[in-house]
């Protein structure tokens, strides 16, 4: 490759080329002076069709956008920033990537060594800034006119991608997908015209974190289908379909959070919080098999801490296994074994007493859970709908019309959103009261649901959903809609991510805002019953009266206000190729 007059540009081109050859397909960057060589090189690679480039002015938005792209593509996204506070603004996304096991490559520009520690402008201690959250880190000396070792750049890029995908680990850290950090120093001249791009030589590194490989090569445990059916399978966030498979093979009820990737199947137990709190259900459990990261209830950690419950935790994508008791058996994979045919009886086709017991155990959980959800709903009077009496039929229709004119409740919002979302769509749930409403009531459906539950913060929800939407529609222009359900504070916390600059692709995304004027999730805190109302309102509920229609207009989003159920139903299914903000007023 021909060299330019700027070692910074030469190194930026070489590094990005090697990262792309190793499998990177998306780059997100925020503008900056020290990082200009990386930014301009990325633009040239985009022109050549070798990368998809996204630009955001706010580094926090850029970090979560990159997170969303990585979630959908399951490959590392590169996010590029300049030096100083720009790097620190990536920290929330880096933490979420670490705790959720999402591959991410952070490339930060820095001052050379001679400008560090002397009070130089926009200079801080960038190496180590992310602490234990990054799985691999390199502080790279500024390239010089003497050149650099192309082989060393190739090795660095491949090691970064491998670490991000969880194929390699550092001492004391298990191999798990997550963020890596490349801190690259640059001296002036900070950029030059890119003379030419190196030829593409793709040799992508295959992702390693899949259930079949772990069953074959990881730490595995054989679980027997016990004579006494007292097992439940718990699927927390990002558990994946493996949890549903194990539940079926064990003949166990499946307690699956809505963003688990396992909220489907014949074993699924709805209204699981009430079941786990019931002595006849949760009290009878003697073994729990845990996948993913449960975060949406107090009942699950309470169950796992009980001394009379054997707990097996299947290590997921994140580096930390979910083990609130600190005494679980932690494994990489599970295999289910059955008793021998001799112990089950001579007729293999006839259900054994053990089989019947397991079916009864699962049936009780499944049917009771469905009934509990149904008890919270008002069923339509179908007899009146089909009555021979014209008066009764007319009364039924008037009642249905009246229902559609009613204000939207949280329950109806959850049901309506779930009902219109299908496998070709994507659903993202913000960290608010509403995700718990969806989790507690929606039936099983095998659809793609995501939430930033690694640390369960409200940071970057709009940006993450935008990344998921952009990657989803980039792979399939006819892909469905990405819908993101947030509370009003979650939206306002990430309002800057509503901005798409000139030339940026605008995703097919609906942001549905349940607006109750503040943080009503804190109504559930015990202190809410005893704290002074005015203090609780100011420092916890933080009420707001932002004009969301004006906010949408300022950022160029289409705006819809859905005050009634019929308004909401129409808004959710309305055709459209760009972003739309749907405000749903909710009662306090």
Domains of the chain, residue spans: 7-185, 211-374, 407-585
Instruction: Say if residue 119's pLDDT is above 80.
Output: yes
Q: Greater confidence, 318 or 494?
A: 494
Q: Report, as an integer, the average pLDDT of 259-283.
A: 96
Model confidence at 399, in pLDDT bands (50, 70, 90)?
A: low
Model confidence at 384, in pLDDT bands (50, 70, 90)?
A: low
pTM of the model: 0.90
Contact in structure between 491 and 513 (CB atoms under 8 Å): yes
* pLDDT at residue number 536: 77
pLDDT, tens digit (0-9, with 9 covering 90-100), for 299-309? 999 999 999 99
Contact in structure between 103 and 135 (CB atoms under 8 Å): no
* pLDDT at residue number 258: 97
Least confident of 248-262, 373-387, 502-516, 536-550: 373-387
Alpha-carbon gap, residue 113 to 120, rounded angstroms = 11
* pLDDT at residue number 422: 95
Instruction: Say if residue 577's pLDDT is above 90.
Output: no
List Cβ neighbours of 552 (8 Å cut-off, separation of 6 or more): 498, 558, 559, 581
Alpha-carbon gap, residue 74 to 101, rounded angstroms = 10
* pLDDT at residue number 243: 96
pLDDT, tens digit (0-9, with 9 covering 90-100), for 530-554? 888 888 778 887 788 899 999 999 9
Chain centroid, CA 270 distance in Å: 22
Half-sphere exposure of 76 (CA within 13 A, CB side): 40
Instruction: Say if residue 455's pLDDT is above 60.
Output: yes
Question: Strand, helix or coil at 570?
Answer: helix
Tell me which H or E stretch contains 223: strand 220-224
Instruction: Say if residue 253's pLDDT is above 90.
Output: yes
Model confidence at 339, in pLDDT bands (50, 70, 90)?
A: low
Q: Which contacts of 127-131 are long-range, i.e. CB under 8 A and separated by 24 or more positions?
A: 127/183, 129/87, 129/88, 129/91, 129/181, 130/90, 130/91, 130/94, 130/106, 130/179, 130/181
Instruction: Say if residue 578's pLDDT is above 60.
Output: yes
List Cβ neighbours of 295 (8 Å cut-off, separation of 6 or more): 236, 237, 257, 453, 456
- 133: which DSSP letter? G
Instruction: Say if residue 208's pLDDT is above 80.
Output: no
Contact in structure between 235 and 296 (CB atoms under 8 Å): no
Q: Report, as an integer, the average pLDDT of 32-43.
A: 97
Query: Domain spanning 7-185 has what CATH number?
Result: 3.40.50.970
Same fold, 211-374 and 407-585: yes
Model confidence at 341, in pLDDT bands (50, 70, 90)?
A: very low
> Residue 36: which of 192, 172, 178 has the closest Cα?
192
Question: Strand, helix or coil at 102?
Answer: coil
Question: Strand, helix or coil at 517?
Answer: coil
* pLDDT at residue number 342: 40
* pLDDT at residue number 221: 76
Query: Is 407-585 in CATH node 3.40.50.970?
Result: yes
The percent of residues in the chain predicted with pLDDT above 70, rounded, is: 88
Instruction: Say if residue 375's pLDDT is above 70.
Output: no
Alpha-carbon gap, residue 325 to 400, rounded angstroms = 50
Query: Domain spanning 211-374 has what CATH number?
Result: 3.40.50.1220
Instruction: Say if residue 346's pLDDT is above 80.
Output: no
* pLDDT at residue number 320: 87
Summary mean pLDDT of the chain: 89
Alpha-carbon gap, residue 503 to 561, rounded angstroms = 28
Instruction: Say if residue 211's pLDDT is above 70.
Output: no
Model confidence at 238, in pLDDT bands (50, 70, 90)?
A: very high
Token couple for 538: 């100011």
Contact in structure between 137 and 78 (CB atoms under 8 Å): no
């Amino acid at each position: 490759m021909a060299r330019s007059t700027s070692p910074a540009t030469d190194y930026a081109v070489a590094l990005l080329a090697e990262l792309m050859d190793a499998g990177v397909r998306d780059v997100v960057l925020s503008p900056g002076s020290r990082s200009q060589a990386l930014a301009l090189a990325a633009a040239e690679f985009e022109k050549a069709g070798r990368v998809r480039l996204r630009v955001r002015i706010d580094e926090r938005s850029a970090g979560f956008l990159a997170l969303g792209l990585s979630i959908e593509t399951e490959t590392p996204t590169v996010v590029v920033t300049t030096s100083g506070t720009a790097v620190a603004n990536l920290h929330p996304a880096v933490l979420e990537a670490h705790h959720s096991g999402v591959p991410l490559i952070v490339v930060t520009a820095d001052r050379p060594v001679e400008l560090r520690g002397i009070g130089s402008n926009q200079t801080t201690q960038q190496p180590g800034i992310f602490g234990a959250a990054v799985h691999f880190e390199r502080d790279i000396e500024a390239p010089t006119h003497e050149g650099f070792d192309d082989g060393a750049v190739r090795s660095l890029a491949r090691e970064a991608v491998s670490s991000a995908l969880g194929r390699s680990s550092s001492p004391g850290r298990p191999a798990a997908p997550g963020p890596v950090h490349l801190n690259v120093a640059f001296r002036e001249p900070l950029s030059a015209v890119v003379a030419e791009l190196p030829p593409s030589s793709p040799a992508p590194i295959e992702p390693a974190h899949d259930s079949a490989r772990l069953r074959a090569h990881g730490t595995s445990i054989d679980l027997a289908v016990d004579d006494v059916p007292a097992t439940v399978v718990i699927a927390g966030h990002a558990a994946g379909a493996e949890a549903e498979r194990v539940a079926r093979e064990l003949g166990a009820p499946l307690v699956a959070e809505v963003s688990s990737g396992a909220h489907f199947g014949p074993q699924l137990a709805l209204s699981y919080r009430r079941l786990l709190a019931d002595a006849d259900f949760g009290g009878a459990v003697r073994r729990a098999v845990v996948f993913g990261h449960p975060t949406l209830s107090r009942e699950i950690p309470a169950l796992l801490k009980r001394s009379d419950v054997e707990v097996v935790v299947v290590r997921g994508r994140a580096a930390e296994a979910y083990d609130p008791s600190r005494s679980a058996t932690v494994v990489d994979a599970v295999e289910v074994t059955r008793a021998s045919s001799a112990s089950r009886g001579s007729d293999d086709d006839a259900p054994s007493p053990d089989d019947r017991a397991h079916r009864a155990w699962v049936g009780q959980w499944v049917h009771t859970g469905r009934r509990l959800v149904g008890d919270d709903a008002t069923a339509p009077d179908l007899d009146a709908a089909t009555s021979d009496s014209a008066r009764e039929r007319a009364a039924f229709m008037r009642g249905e019309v009246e229902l559609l004119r009613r204000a939207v409740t949280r329950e109806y919002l959850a049901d309506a959103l779930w009902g219109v979302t299908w496998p070709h769509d994507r659903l993202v749930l913000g960290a608010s009261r509403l995700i718990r409403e969806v989790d507690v009531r929606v039936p099983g459906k095998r659809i793609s649901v995501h939430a930033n539950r690694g640390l369960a913060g409200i940071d970057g929800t709009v940006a993450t959903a935008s990344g998921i939407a952009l990657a989803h529609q980039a792979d399939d222009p006819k892909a469905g809609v990405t819908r993101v359900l947030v509370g009003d504070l979650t939206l306002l916390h990430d309002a800057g991510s509503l901005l798409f600059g000139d030339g940026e692709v605008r995703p097919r995304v609906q942001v549905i805002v349940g607006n109750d004027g503040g943080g009503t999730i804190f109504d559930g805190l015990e202190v809410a019953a005893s704290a002074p109302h005015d203090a609780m309102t100011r420092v916890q509920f933080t009420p707001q009266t932002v004009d969301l229609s004006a906010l949408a207009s300022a950022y160029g989003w289409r705006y819809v206000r859905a005050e009634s159920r019929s308004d909401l139903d129409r808004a959710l299914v309305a055709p459209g190729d760009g972003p739309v903000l749907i405000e749903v007023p909710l009662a306090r």
